[in-house]
Every structure is written in structure tokens, then in C-alpha cells.
A and B are shown apart, each in its own frame.
Chain A
């Protein structure tokens, strides 16, 4: 398994950069990537942006070894948390049960309740997925990813169905957790504001190539709405404009 996908066990203390080299990826009809390379900095939050259908989810799936590809991806740590674009909750388990499910032997009631509290869902611990709203289900998926001890966290539009207030609070929560445990994070979003608040680097994809690669200075989370050159550059790249 490890060899097929070029996966290696990493030292959790020292987060290595994840390297994608010469990646080729085709689906039956579409070529998504061709000779694509990217280095994802260990212990940092990298944001992926780009038009719908440009291959962001595909990239996360390749990192998680969920889809085959050509080329080499190295230094992927052994344990991965993944906030999928959909919630992917087991319908037969409660909110609490769904988080417990991924923790296995490590499951600890206090830890699960604590993370549910952080995503403001402690009151829904015993609810079944069908009883949740879209945003609540999404938060369970976020809680599951946070609770699972991993060295890499993949997030596919995790805040897409949340209101602004909740989104900002969850970005704060994420940053706290991220500082405590220092995971490498890859964060997909359509929203320049989210990218600006919660990333150290924004990579804009277009047609299977890197259209822009913007580094930011300073600490996350950044203040909502504050003027920033980083955000301006992201927006300009998303609009396909050249650097001013």
C-alpha cells in the first residue's frame, strides 16, 4: 500500500514538506493534471483556490491516496484528517458516535465533548445526522477531523455553509488547535476572505497549472475585513489579473 502511493511514515515532531512531483491525473474523459508539481510546506496552512472543476478536490484525494495518479507524492504523513466537501457522516450513528467511530481505541468521552463544544454542537451530541441542518452536519465533520490525531489535515471548503459569525469563530478555533498540535494543513476554498484569514500561502490553480502562488507574512487568524495586501493579491489572481 505504502509503495504504490509513495507514502512514507514521517516524524510527527518535525513536519516535512510534502512534495508533489510530475503529477499526472486523468479521469475517463478529462485530464485534470499533467506534469504538475507543488511543494506543500510542513506545519503551515496552504490554501488552494481556483474555479469550480479545476481539480482542488482531486488534489486532496491524491494526497489522501483515495484516487490513483501518475508521478510521485512524497512525505505524506501517516495519519490524515479529511474534511470532505460533503459531510460523510454515518446515518446510523449519533453525532457523538460518528466522532467516536474514527477515534477507535483512542476514544475519550471528554475529548469528544470538548471538540463538540468548540464547534458549538455539544447540545447535539445525541442527535442523528438526519436531524441536523446542513451547517451543523458540516461542523460534525469539522469536529471529527479536529478530534482525530493526525499530522496532516485536508479541508475541502469546510466553512461553505456557515454564517459569517460562526465561520470566524471556527477559524479561531482551528487556529488554536493548529497551534497546539502543529499539523500541516491544506485548505480549499472559493472565498478570498477565508483564504486571507486562514492561510500562510495561497495557491491559485487554473487548467491544471499553478496560476498564482502568493505567500503571506504574519500570523493566522487574520482580522476579518482588515485591509491587507495578501487578500488583494488573492482576489487579483482569482480574477486573472496581472500583478499591479
Chain B
């Protein structure tokens, strides 16, 4: 029964991916110009060809590292701000308009401005922080306010210390929201970093490799890099969810 259920769970994503590849393959046949739309097989060949190239792995490493540390720099303040806004009414009055302001600035302006101001290695990470931080803050805020007020009251009556409350009441009970927000946030983060890398011409990065293959009209390489990016973000999202499920055993 369990095996059967798991099989069903696997089959649907596989079917969807297969359908996408089929549609792609038919479209490529119809267009019949690999400069515009390379076929799945050409793209996959280009994708596997990258495996032998050290520069590809270096680019993957750099882009992932940038995504990772920028995510940490969004994640930690997002939690801290969400907790502060929940605890102190005045903190919320300051934080909310600030977040609304950041959120309202067009992503493209942020990217272009930061490319002028910062070095191309740093700019993509900062772009990601500026875009991801408000989204994480919102989802973490929702997670904090979903915490049972009766448990907060109980903690107050028993005079539980603030540190203890954060570790044992707030963070664990926010965990479902934290992991869910992080999973979708992190995959968006990778996409933003790549976009900013492409525009900033960051050396040895997935974004600049994409930019390069576009300029050289090596469309199959562009598709191959896209496949790599999709795999990275899917794998990361899945890994975060998996860790989440392992951590939240008590549910």
C-alpha cells in the first residue's frame, strides 16, 4: 500500500516532465531551426558535454555559493524582524512600511543600480537579498502570528525566559512556515542570482555563461544551462522540504 502510494506520487511529476519534453520536441521538429529552438536531444547532449568542463563546475559552485550566502543574509534578518514585529507593536510600525518600500522597487531597477554601485561578484547576491528578504519576512510573519496565543500566555504565567521561548515555542512552531517559505524562497533566490549575474557579467557564473552563449547564438548551450539551473533549484527546494519533514517529527 505504501509502495503503491509512493509510486503514484512519483508518477505524476514524471508524466508532467515527459509531457513538457514531448511538447518541446514536437515544437523543435516543427520549427526545425536549432538556432531558435534546439531539440531536447541537442540540448541534453550540450548539457552532458558541460560535465567534462571544469569552468562549468566552477560556475555552478560560484552561483550556488552566492545563492547560499545571500539566502542566509535574507533568512536571519527575516526571522529576527518577524519576531520583533510580533513582539513589539512599534517595531511593526517601523518595519512594515520599510518592507513595503523595498517590495515596491522594481527588481530590474535594483539589479541595474546595484551593478553600477557594486562589484559584479557581490551585486547579484545583494540583488537577491533585497528581493528575497521581504518575501521571507512576510511568510515568517504569518508563521509567527499563527502561533497559539494561549501557549504564549502560558509561557508568560510560568515566566519562561525569552531565549527559551524563542528556542522551544517560537522557532519550532514556526518551523512548518519557515521551511515552506525557505523552499520556495531559495529557488527564487537562485533564479535572481542568475539573472543578476547575466546582467552584471559576473565572471565564472551560470548567469554570465548564459549571457555568453546567447551572444554567440549557441542556443543549445543556453538551453543546457537552463536545464542545469532548473535541476539545481528543484533539488534545493526538495532538499529543504525533506529536511523540514525530518525536523518536524512531532506533527
Determine the chain A residues whose CB is within 8 A of the CB of B250 once the complex forms. 91-93, 128, 130
Task: Report whether B157 and A93 are in contact in the complex, using a CB–CB cutoff of 8 Å.
Answer: no
Task: Report whether A92 and B150 are in contact in the complex, using a CB–CB cutoff of 8 Å.
Answer: no
Q: A66 to B156, alpha carbons, bound, how many Å? A: 9
Q: Does A174 contact B (CB under 8 A)?
A: no
Which stretch, A6-14, A80-88, A190-198, touches the partner chain B? A80-88
Determine the chain B residues whose CB is within 8 A of the CB of A86 once the complex forms. 150
- Within residues 66 to 87 of chain A, which ones have a CB less than 8 A from any CB in chain B? 66, 79-82, 84, 86
Which stretch, B133-141, B165-173, B202-210, touches the partner chain A? B165-173
Q: A148 to B161, alpha carbons, bound, how many Å? A: 14
Task: Report whether B151 and A88 are in contact in the complex, using a CB–CB cutoff of 8 Å.
Answer: yes
Task: Report whether B154 and A82 are in contact in the complex, using a CB–CB cutoff of 8 Å.
Answer: yes
What is the chain B residue whose CB lies nearest that of A100? B168
Q: A148 to B150, alpha carbons, bound, how many Å? A: 18
DSSP class of A's interface residues: helix, strand, loop or mixed?
Answer: loop
Q: A45 to B17, alpha carbons, bound, how many Å? A: 69
Determine the chain A residues whose CB is within 8 A of the CB of B173 once the complex forms. 90-92
Can you name 5 A-B residue pairings with CB atoms under 8 Å? A66-B157, A90-B168, A92-B173, A92-B175, A104-B159
Task: Report whether B164 and A101 are in contact in the complex, using a CB–CB cutoff of 8 Å.
Answer: yes
Task: Report whether B157 and A101 are in contact in the complex, using a CB–CB cutoff of 8 Å.
Answer: no
Size of interface on B: residues with Cβ below 8 Å to A: 20
What is the chain A residue whose CB lies nearest that of B248? A92
- Within residues 104 to 129 of chain A, which ones have a CB less than 8 A from any CB in chain B? 104, 128
Report B167 CB to chain A, min CB distance, Å: 10
Q: What per-residue 1/0 map shows which CB atoms of B162-197 lie under 8 Å from chain A?
A: 001000110011010000000000000000000000
Task: Report whether A104 and B168 are in contact in the complex, using a CB–CB cutoff of 8 Å.
Answer: no
Q: Does B158 contact A (CB under 8 A)?
A: yes
5 closest Cβ contacts across the A-B interface? A102-B158, A92-B172, A88-B154, A92-B250, A82-B157
Task: Report whether A90 and B151 are in contact in the complex, using a CB–CB cutoff of 8 Å.
Answer: yes
Q: Does A188 contact B (CB under 8 A)?
A: no
What is the chain B residue whose CB lies nearest that of A61? B153
Task: Report whether B153 and A101 are in contact in the complex, using a CB–CB cutoff of 8 Å.
Answer: no
Q: A144 to B154, alpha carbons, bound, how many Å? A: 11
Determine the chain B residues whose CB is within 8 A of the CB of A97 once the complex forms. 168
In the complex where A86-B150, A92-B172, A130-B250 touch, is A101 in contact with B159 (Cβ < 8 A)? no
Q: Does B160 contact A (CB under 8 A)?
A: yes
What is the chain B residue whose CB lies nearest that of A97? B168
Determine the chain B residues whose CB is within 8 A of the CB of A144 once the complex forms. 158
Task: Report whether B160 and A101 are in contact in the complex, using a CB–CB cutoff of 8 Å.
Answer: yes
Report B234 CB to chain A, min CB distance, Å: 29
Q: A91 to B151, alpha carbons, bound, how many Å? A: 10
Report A100 CB to chain B, min CB distance, Å: 9
Q: A81 to B154, alpha carbons, bound, how many Å? A: 9
Report B248 CB to chain A, min CB distance, Å: 8
Task: Report whether B151 and A104 are in contact in the complex, using a CB–CB cutoff of 8 Å.
Answer: no
What is the chain B residue whose CB lies nearest that of A86? B150
Report B106 CB to chain A, min CB distance, Å: 40
Q: Does A64 contact B (CB under 8 A)?
A: yes
Determine the chain B residues whose CB is within 8 A of the CB of A80 once the complex forms. 157
Report B240 CB to chain A, min CB distance, Å: 19
Q: A66-B157, A86-B150, A88-B150 are known; give 15 further A-B pairs, CB within 8 A.
A: A66-B156, A84-B154, A88-B153, A90-B169, A90-B172, A90-B173, A91-B251, A92-B168, A92-B172, A101-B155, A101-B160, A101-B164, A101-B168, A102-B158, A104-B159
Task: Report whether B168 and A84 are in contact in the complex, using a CB–CB cutoff of 8 Å.
Answer: no
Q: What per-residue 1/0 map shows which CB atoms of A148-180 lie under 8 Å from chain B?
A: 100000000000000000000000000000000
Q: A90 to B160, alpha carbons, bound, how many Å? A: 13
Q: A34 to B173, alpha carbons, bound, how many Å? A: 39
* Cβ-defined partner of A84 (8 Å) among B150, B156, B248, B251: B150
Determine the chain B residues whose CB is within 8 A of the CB of A84 once the complex forms. 150, 154
Task: Report whether A64 and B161 are in contact in the complex, using a CB–CB cutoff of 8 Å.
Answer: no
Determine the chain B residues whose CB is within 8 A of the CB of A128 once the complex forms. 250
